[in-house]
A and B are shown apart, each in its own frame.
Chain A
């Protein structure tokens, strides 16, 4: 079993819809949680960064962390075709610096 599980999709939604993405993880010691966006043949771009449990909002993006369930989510409101990309969840321990990634979910927003 992988440390971080993420449904690869693909996920296809119409423009304006809410995109819901999630990851589960097995190690309760993870403390920092991130979401990266990766366009085809490009490097990952950091979208959201949260510490421990709770919610964080940034524009159209909301990240949620539920440590009791070992479950993190990313919501994209009012999705745009430019949001079409692969979304990677990542996490790390408090005293470590390397990231453990999910496999990524491919999202297509249809115009």
Chain B
């Protein structure tokens, strides 16, 4: 499968615990994005990488959230001290650089904070 891969697919955690999600983009894609989707809503942008550089972060990304993309390949999204409001689907997408490009999404990681 050469699409965007996300792990784990599901994560249940207790409030206050830290969680980390991984995204492996399509191999030749140098742009990588994280989005969050809650029930009944469209995805909302969280952050964006071009290669290893994190170029933009949404105000939705509180200081409990951190994302990395070492070596410009896979990316991780960590949430510290999880809260029930963090329960959502976390989606990763990747694309090529250039103006006329399309973003392809992974299957997402569904987080439930209990």
CB-based nearest B residue for A104: B42
- Whether A102 lies near B110 (C-beta < 8 A) is no
Interface residues on B, range: 20 to 34
The answer, yes or no, to whether B111 is at the interface (CB within 8 Å) is no
Among B33, B100, B106, point to the contact of A51 (Cβ < 8 A): B100
B40 touches A44 (CB 8 A): no
Q: Is A25 an interface residue (CB 8 A)?
A: no
Given A97-B31, A101-B44, CB of A44 within 8 Å of CB of B102: no
B105 and A44 contacting across the interface, CB-CB below 8 Å: yes
Number of residues in A with C-beta < 8 Å to the partner?
Answer: 26
Q: Mark B43-56, 1 if CB is under 8 A from A, else 0.
A: 11100100000001
**Are A41 and B43 in contact, with the CB atoms below 8 A?**
no
A45 cross-chain contacts in B, Cβ below 8 A: 105
Bound-state Cα–Cα, A55 to B6, Å? 34
- A4-B12 Cα distance, complex, nearest whole Å: 31
Shortest 3 CB-CB distances between A and B: which pairs? A101-B42, A43-B105, A98-B45
| Partner-B contacts on A (CB < 8 A) | 4, 6, 8, 32, 34, 36, 41-46, 49, 51, 88, 90, 94-95, 97-104
Give the interface of B toward A (CB within 8 A): 4, 6, 31, 33, 35, 40-45, 48, 56, 58, 91, 95, 99-100, 102-108, 110
